[in-house]
Amino acid sequence: MRKKTEIPQIDLEEEFKKLADVIHTANTFFLAGHLNPDGDTIGSMLAIWSVLKRMGKKVTIFSQDPVPQNLNFLPNTCHIISKQPRRKFDAAILLECSTPSRGGNLEPVLKKCGTVVNIDHHKTSEFYGNINIVESTASSTAEIVYRLFYSMKIEINKQEATYLYVGMVTDTGRFMYSATSARTLEVASRLMATGFKFYRINEFIFSTKPKEHLKILGRAMESLEFRAGGKLALITVTKKDFMDYGANQEHTEGIINYGLMPHSVQVVVMFREEESRVNVTFRSKGLLDVALVAKHFGGGGHKQASGCKLQASLAEAQESVTAYVLEKIAASKKLTHA
C-alpha cells in the first residue's frame, strides 16, 4: 500500500489499465466500502462483485456496518459479510473510502493484500493505493465503476446495471445535485437501456420509508433552528430521540436535505448524537465549501455534501461546529461582496 504523500497527478486512463491488468491476473479479491454504507457504496461493491464472479474470480465483500434497510431489496446483499476475514487476497478494492480508516479497521487485511486499489470520487481522498482511480468531478463512485467496465469492454447485465443505477441515483439525489453532468445522464441512459425497472428502484429507495424514519423526521424538524439571518440551518437528533422510537442512525437518512428547502438557507448542519461520539453532516448550496469545513474537524467529502465524527458531547460539538461554520459564512459573505 502506498505511503501517504502529497496528492500526485494521475492519468485516469492509465490507472484503469493498471486495474484491468490486476483484474485479469489476480484470482482472489477483497471488496470494502465506507462505514454506514449508502447506495453508492453498496451498489458499486455489488456491481464489481458480480462482474468478477462472472469472470471466475473468488470475491469477498465486506462492510463493517450492515446494509441499510432500504437497500435490502437488492439481490445478493446476503453475500456482504461484517466479520473481517483473516486470509490473504491478491487484491483489495476499496470503494468510496477517502482513507482506509473510512472502511473501519481494515489495516490487518490490507497488509495481506498484494495490490490495494482506491476507487473514489471525493476530493479529500488520499492516494493511499497502489492504484488510485480518483475523480472528484464524477457524480458517484458507481459512475467511475461503469467507466472501468466500459474501458475493459465488459458488457454488464441487467442486474449489474441495477446496482450501478442505485449508486448513481442515490449519490446525485435523483440527479438533482450539481455533480450531475451530461456524462452522468448518458451513463444512466445506458444503464436503463439494459431493461431493468428503474421506476421500481426509485419507489423502493425514495417512496418507501419505515415508520421509525417518519417519527425521527418529526423530532428532527422540531429541533430545526436558523442562524446567520437564515443562511444556516441546524438540525439535531439526540440519543433520546432514537430510544423513544426504537430507531437507529439509518432512519435519519435524507433528513438533512429538508434543512435546505427554505430559500434563504445556504448551509445545513445536522448533529446526530451517538453512544460515544457525535456524527456531523453538512450540506451546502455552494456558498460554502463544506468539504473544507468537514476536513477541519477530521472528516471530508464534497463541496456541497460532507461529514465528520467528533469525540465530544453533543453540546460541545454543537458549539464548536456552529461557531466555525458561522465564521466561514461571514467570511464567504465578505468575499462575495468584495
Model confidence, pTM? 0.84
Query: CATH says 12-206 is which class?
Result: alpha beta
**Number of helices followed by number of strands (H, E) in the chain:** 11, 12
- Where do the structural domains in the chain lie, given as residue ranges? 12-206, 211-336
Compute the average pLDDT of residues 278-300.
93
The pLDDT-based confidence of 335 (bands split at 50, 70, 90) is very low
Please determine, for residue 338, whether its predicted confidence score (pLDDT) is greater than 60. no
256: pLDDT strictly greater than 90: yes
Looking at residues 183-188, what average pLDDT do you find? 97
Q: What is the domain class of 211-336 according to CATH?
A: alpha beta
Average pLDDT in the 143-149 region? 97
Dihedral (C-alpha) 127, 9, 19, 130: value to the nearest 10 degrees? -40
**Structure letter (DSSP) for residue 228:** G
The predicted-structure confidence for 13-61, as pLDDT tens digits, reads as follows 999 999 999 999 999 999 999 988 999 999 999 999 999 999 999 999 9
Orientation angle between helical segments 182-192 and 141-151, nearest 10 degrees:
70
